[in-house]
């Protein structure tokens, strides 16, 4: 049941809010048959009008799309949307009202005989919290809102050192050893290097840059060279990119204005990957002063080691000119593990390449 009370009016924002809100919901179907990966299956069969209704509630729209056999991905006016047969991930920035997308989403899922059995919501600490609309005015309000839909599953919420907010709900804790392991890596970067940020303005002197120009000139093209990319350049500045490869996806969003410069990178994958090399590539592109890094893994400890998810990350960052300020590990309600790191760039660092 939706929360019904008067919503406070948000203050005007002095800059664009880059920190995204991220909502991930997994569903179950009444059928006991294996889930096929063909197009137009379950959530992937949602009509364009249904997607428009869900996104309108969050106050964003679709600007570009890219699909493969396993999923549909959409670049939004504020961030990204990824749809699998039984899972949906919506990520929005600015002053969007992401959680308001839940009622129409659950309504359309029910029409497909789907019921939610797992939910995870996460975000960083907003740059301009006073400008956020309800229920994003405060994490406690977000938790109440989420619990009104998923509290019956059993939920847990935590704030990690005031910088990372996580809500998770799960109908039952599975045995991580009998499911396919996967993990999500999120980077949130602030105070970008000025030269790096300048590559995400459409007009550069007499030239007008395309999204592809930004992807190549910034070095983003080298981060995941095997992925299929869908990029989008905003006017007068700003950049978004979705990349997909089999069941894995990655997404990048950039706000380059100096008073609120911000970039994010996220990848969800199920294969072993050199995370230290990935961190190096991301930091090399944006050269942020502050980098928050979260690693959420749906694995057992043995699977974490097999996938290389327990590498000594702080040592690698020392070599790159960053100091690790925090390193925290949390077990979430639904059996997942969250590793959180906070890094700051040393003042004597000139170039990490």
pLDDT band at 173 (very low <50, low <70, confident <90, very high): low
Q: Residue 351: is its pLDDT beyond 90?
A: no
Place of tokens 């925290």: 328
pLDDT of residue 245: 96
CA dist 65 and 58 (Å) reads 18
- Please indicate whether residue 296 or residue 64 has the higher confidence score (pLDDT): 64
CA dist 324 and 209 (Å) reads 35
The residues, any chain, with a CB within 8 Å of residue 79's CB and separated by 6 or more, are: 20, 60, 91, 92, 93, 96, 240, 251, 253
Q: Are the C-beta atoms of residues 22 and 82 closer than 8 Å to each other?
A: no
Write b or e for each residue in 215-225: b if 16 or more Cβ atoms lie within 10 A of its Cβ, otherwise e. Answer: beebbbbebbe
Using only C-alpha atoms, the chain has a radius of gyration, in whole angstroms, of: 19
Q: What is the pTM of this model?
A: 0.89
CA dist 3 and 173 (Å) reads 27
pLDDT band at 170 (very low <50, low <70, confident <90, very high): confident
pLDDT band at 338 (very low <50, low <70, confident <90, very high): confident
For every residue of 184-202, which 3-state class applies, written as one string? Answer: EEEEEEECCCHHHHHCCEC
Q: 203 is written with which tokens? A: 């007009």
What is the average pLDDT score of the chain?
Answer: 85
The residues, any chain, with a CB within 8 Å of residue 106's CB and separated by 6 or more, are: 116, 149
- Convert the pLDDT of each residue in 179-229 to its tens digit: 556 889 999 999 999 999 999 999 877 789 999 999 999 999 999 999 999
CA dist 241 and 248 (Å) reads 14
Q: Are the C-beta atoms of residues 233 and 208 closer than 8 Å to each other?
A: no
Q: Residue 256: is its pLDDT beyond 80?
A: yes
Q: Which are the catalytic amino acids? A: 17, 20, 79, 93, 240, 253
pLDDT of residue 347: 75
Place of tokens 């290097």: 193
Report residue 283 CA to chain centroid gap.
17
Q: What is the dihedral of CA 298, 300, 306, 310, to 10 degrees?
A: 80
- Convert the pLDDT of each residue in 14-67 to its tens digit: 678 878 999 999 999 876 666 555 555 899 999 999 999 999 999 999 999 999
Give the residue-averaged pLDDT of 99-106.
98
Q: Residue 308: is its pLDDT beyond 60?
A: no
* Strand blocks (E) in the chain: 21-29, 62-67, 72-76, 79-83, 87-92, 114-124, 155-160, 164-170, 182-190, 203-204, 207-208, 228-233, 239-245, 248-255, 262-269, 290-298, 322-331, 337-345
**What are the backbone angles phi and psi of residue 119, rounded to the nearest 5°?**
-140, 140
Q: Are the C-beta atoms of residues 25 and 91 closer than 8 Å to each other?
A: no
Q: 223 is written with which tokens? A: 């981060």
Give the residue-averaged pLDDT of 295-322.
62
């Amino acid at each position: 049941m939706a929360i019904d009370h008067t919503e406070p009016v948000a203050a005007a924002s002095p800059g664009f809010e880059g920190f995204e809100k991220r909502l991930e919901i997994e569903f179950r179907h009444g059928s006991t048959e294996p889930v096929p990966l063909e197009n137009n299956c379950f959530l992937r069969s949602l009509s364009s009008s249904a997607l428009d209704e869900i996104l309108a509630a969050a106050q964003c729209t679709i600007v570009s799309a890219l699909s493969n056999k396993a999923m549909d991905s959409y670049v939004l006016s504020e961030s990204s949307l990824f749809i699998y047969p039984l899972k949906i991930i919506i990520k929005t920035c600015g002053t969007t009202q992401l959680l308001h997308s839940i009622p129409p989403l659950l309504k359309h899922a029910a029409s497909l005989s789907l019921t939610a059995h797992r939910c995870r919501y996460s975000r960083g600490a907003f740059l301009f919290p006073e400008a956020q609309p309800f229920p994003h005015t405060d994490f406690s309000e977000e938790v109440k809102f989420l619990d009104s839909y998923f509290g019956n599953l059993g939920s847990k919420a935590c704030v990690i050192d005031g910088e990372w907010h996580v809500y998770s709900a799960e109908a039952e804790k599975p045995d991580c050893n009998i499911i396919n392991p996967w993990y999500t890596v999120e980077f949130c970067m602030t105070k970008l290097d000025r030269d790096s940020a300048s590559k995400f303005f459409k007009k550069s002197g007499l030239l007008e840059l395309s999204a592809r120009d930004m992807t190549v000139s910034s070095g983003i093209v080298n981060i995941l060279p095997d992925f299929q990319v869908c990029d989008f350049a905003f006017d007068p500045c700003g950049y978004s990119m979705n990349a997909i490869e089999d069941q894995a996806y990655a997404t990048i969003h950039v706000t380059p204005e100096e008073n609120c410069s911000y970039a994010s990178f996220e990848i969800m994958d199920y294969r072993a990957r050199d995370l230290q090399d990935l961190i190096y590539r991301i930091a090399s592109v944006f050269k942020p002063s502050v980098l928050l890094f979260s690693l959420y893994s749906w694995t057992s400890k043995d699977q974490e080691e097999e996938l290389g998810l327990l590498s000594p990350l702080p040592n690698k960052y020392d070599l790159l000119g960053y100091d690790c300020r925090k390193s925290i590990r949390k077990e979430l309600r639904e059996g997942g593990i969250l590793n959180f790191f906070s890094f700051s760039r040393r003042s004597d660092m000139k170039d990490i390449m």
